[in-house]
Amino acid sequence: MIKVENLSKKFGEVSAVDDVSFDVAAGEVFAFLGPNGAGKTTTIKMLTTLLKPTSGSIEIDGLDPATHSNEVRKRFGIVFQDSSLDQDLTAEENMDLHGVLYHVPRKVRHERTEMLLRLFELWDRRKDFVKTFSGGMRRRLEIARGFLHTPKILFLDEPTLGLDPQSRNQLWTHVKNLNKTEGVTVFLTTHYMDEAERVADRIAVIDHGQIIAQGTPDELKKQTETDSLEAAFLALTGSSIRDESADSADQMRQMAKMWRK
C-alpha cells in the first residue's frame, strides 16, 4: 500500500530524511518510532503530497504523490502533529467543513459528527469557537475530525501528543477497530515505545533521518538483546536528549495574536 525507496529530503544543508526505504502492506499498522527531529513529520509530509522529495521514490496505492497528488489525496486521511483547525470556526463547523471537503454525504456527516464529538467529549462544546478550547480539547477535536471519513490509509503523526489517558485509549481502540473492520492501513509516528508496541504490527526506528532498525516489536527486542521495546529503543538511538528547537512558527503565532487584537 505504501512503498518508499531511497527517499531523501534536504532543507539546505540539513538532511531531514536520508535514504529511507520501507514497505507497508495493505491492512497493516506500521509505526515510525523516533526521537524529536528524527524526520518523521517530514516523511509524512512527502507521503501526503505536502512536500516534494529531494530524491527517491514513493508509491501510495501504486501512485506517485508528486505527480498524481489529487488521486493520492483521495486515498488517505491524516491527523497532523500540530494544529490544523480553523480557530475562528466552532467545533461543529470544523467537522462540517472537513466532511464537505472529504465528500461525506450530509446525513452521514451529521450522524458521525455527533457520534465522534460525543466519543471525544466535545459534544457540549460543539457550538463554541475552537479558539476558546484548551490544548487537549483541540487535540481531541483534531482526532475526531480525522475519523469523520474512512480512508484507505490513515496517517497519524504523533496523535497522542497532549492527550489525556482516556482519550488515548479511545483513539487506539478506534484505530484498531478501523483497522480490523474496514481494513484501513495505518501509518503512525510516535516517540512512545508503549504505544508503538501496543498497536503496531511492525515498527521502523528512525533517527537523524535514517531508519536504523525495522521489524516486529519482538524482532526489535531480539535484535538488540533487550527485553523491552524501551530498552531496545535506547540501545538503538543512544540516550542523549533531543530538543526540538523552538521554531519560528511559535513566535509567529504570538505575533499574530497581538496583531489580531
Partner 1 sequence: MNAIYILWLRELKRYTRSRAMIVASLGQPLLYLLVLGFGLGPVFQKAGNGDYIQFIAPGIIGMSVLFTSVFSGIGLLWDRQFGFLKETLVAPVPRVAVMVGKTLGGATVATIQGLLVLAICLIAGFRPVNWLMLPVALFFMILTAFVFAGLGVAIGSKLQDIQGMQLIMNFVVLPIYFLSGALFPLNGLPSVLSVLTKIDPLSYGIDALRYVLLGTSQFAPEISVAVLGVAALIFVGLGSYSFSKIQL
Ligand X SMILES: Nc1ncnc2c1ncn2[C@@H]1O[C@H](COP(=O)(O)OP(=O)(O)O)[C@@H](O)[C@H]1O
Residue 27 vs 162, nearer CB to Mg ion: 162
User: From the CB of 211, what's the least distance to ligand X, in Å?
Assistant: 12
Which stretch in 87-95, 170-178, 198-206, 213-221 sits in contact with partner 1 by CB under 8 A? 87-95
User: From the CB of 215, what's the least distance to Mg ion, in Å?
Assistant: 22
Residue 67 vs 248, nearer CB to ligand X: 248
Least Cα distance to 239 among 230, 249, 227, 226 occurs for 230
Q: Which of 11, 36, 55, 88 binds partner 1 (CB under 8 A)?
A: 88
Q: What are phi and psi of 6, to 5 degrees?
A: 50, 40
Chain centroid to Cα 204, Å, comes to: 15
Q: Which of 36, 55, 82, 124 binds partner 1 (CB under 8 A)?
A: 82
Q: Which of 2, 4, 7, 16 binds ligand X (CB under 6 A)?
A: 16
Query: Can residue 102 be called a binding residue for partner 1 (CB under 8 A)?
Result: yes
Query: Can residue 55 be called a binding residue for ligand X (CB under 6 A)?
Result: no
Residue 41 vs 167, nearer CB to ligand X: 41
Which stretch in 23-31, 36-44, 128-136, 197-205 sits in contact with ligand X by CB under 6 A? 36-44
Q: Which of 69, 81, 223, 226 binds Mg ion (CB under 5 A)?
A: 81
Q: Which helix (H) or strand (E) holds 249?
A: helix 248-260
Return residues touching Mg ion (CB under 5 A): 40-41, 81
